[in-house]
Amino acid sequence: MASTEDAVASFVAAHRRGLVRFGFLLTGDRAAGEDLVQEALIRCLPAWGRLDPQGVEAYVRKVMARLAWKARRHPLNTRSAPGHADPAAADIAEASAELADLRQALARLPSRQRVVLVLRYWQDLNDAEIAKLLGCRQGTVKSRASRAYAQLRQELDWTDDVAIVDNPPAAREDVP
Amino acid sequence: MSQPADHKPTVLRERLDQLADSVSGGDSLDGTQLYRQGVRRRRRRIAATTALIAVAVVIAGAVLGSAVRPEASPEIGPGPASTTEPDGCVIPTRFESDVESGLLTEEKACEYARAMDGLATPEHSFPGGPSIVVEGQVHEDTVAECRAGTYDSGDSFADLYCNAFLKIAAGALDPTGTCGPPICPEGTPVWIYDEAQLHDLADGHR
């Protein structure tokens, strides 16, 4: 029992930054992202001893994506309140105004659209992989990704990113 | 989650990367605290689920006019991997790790084991009488996980829990539905009680 506790502690210390980044993108909010990481880790604990040490992070990320996907029906208990000031906003505003706009646009997306968008464009998963991960149909993935991307384009007035349209991950044939 | 390296980076991906990179945080996450929180949650879940099933057993026994006596079952004996306590309680292997780790006391483990054994003992016939189902509102999340096949209770009871929760959900949706093993014999009619009614019934039959 103590060894599992130690293993969890060292895993969290080593991976928390990467997981929080993923959680932030999935939720559009840093505090909610941290809560998502925490919830996913707790849900992984019972299976911890059975997980391949090399695959733990991927497993936690899967759980995070599923939780974020389901959060529409079962909102996570986040520390964030509507209209709160996300601490990440200050970090991002310092980095660039463009990123601040992207952050706001991402946060305004419906949660499921945001999840699909992040998995597709940030995690580089194709539609089949996303559908399998989230337990939904590929058509659902395509439509949500399309709507999410269209909304981002509209809100951010992007016209220079043809590459996204021409090379969507969904078109890849190299992933079974 | 695969991350193919040969995929052409997109503008959006680069911007998402920059956005993620610009976020600090995560320092508040503490693995030790998370671990302990997880243990507490599991303890609560085990207690709540077993209490739910135990109440169902009590009421089922009362409805049938015979008390459930799991220790009377010839099928539930101390196996080679089981531990027999001084009061005659048999702690099945499935609870031994929880007892060893301090998650459950021996007394609680015995109590849960009796309740579970009562369910597993096919000594009762349910001749069309009502079986007991609790309204499943409080288990909505769990039911959803059971349906998706992702429910993980962290112990060997996942199937039993899911069976119970799904039956509860089915009953909640369809009052004329039926219950099946291991909660009750195949085809047993399901009656729906809300939580308050169930407590009243349990109190009245004790």
| Nearest residue to B119 (alpha-carbon basis) of B48, B70, B192, B188 | B70
**Closest Cβ opposite residue B13 in set A122, A133, A158:** A122
Q: Highest mean pLDDT: which of A60-64, A83-87, B108-112, B198-202?
A: A60-64
Pairing of strands B83-84, B178-179: unpaired
Q: Show which of residues 70-99 on chain A sit within 8 Å of chain B, judged by CB atoms.
A: 70, 73-74, 87-88, 91-92, 94-96, 98-99
Please return the burial class of A120, using the count of CB atoms within 10 Å of its CB with bins 0-12, 13-18 and 19+: buried
**Most distant CA pair in chain B, distance:** 71
Let me know: does A48 contact A2? Beta carbons within 8 Å: no
Interface residue B199 vs chain A (CB under 8 A): no
Q: Which has the higher per-residue pLDDT, B69 or A40?
A: A40
Is a pLDDT exceeding 50 seen at residue B19?
A: yes
State the Cα–Cα distance between residues A104 and A98, nearest whole angstrom.
10
Which residue, among A77, A121, A174, would best test binding to B if mutated, counting the most B CBs under 10 Å from its CB? A121
A14: Cα separation from own chain's centroid: 19
Let me know: does A169 contact A126? Beta carbons within 8 Å: yes
* Percent with pLDDT over 90 in chain A: 24
Is a pLDDT exceeding 70 seen at residue A25?
A: yes
Which whole number is the average pLDDT over B43-50? 70
Is a pLDDT exceeding 70 seen at residue A77?
A: no
ipTM above 0.85, yes or no: no
- The pair of three-digit structure tokens given for residue A73, joined into one six-digit string: 């029906």
Contacts of B3 in chain A (CB under 8 A): 123-124
Lowest pLDDT segment from A115-119, A172-176, B110-114? A172-176
The chain A residue lying nearest B140, using CA atoms, is A74
Q: What is the pLDDT of residues B125-164, one digit of tens each?
A: 323 333 344 333 334 555 566 566 666 654 444 555 555 5
Question: Is the alpha carbon torsion for B105, A42, A138, A107 positive or negative?
Answer: positive
The residue written with tokens 């929880």 in the block is: B98
Q: What is the pLDDT of residues A82-113, one digit of tens each?
A: 445 555 666 666 567 888 888 889 989 999 99
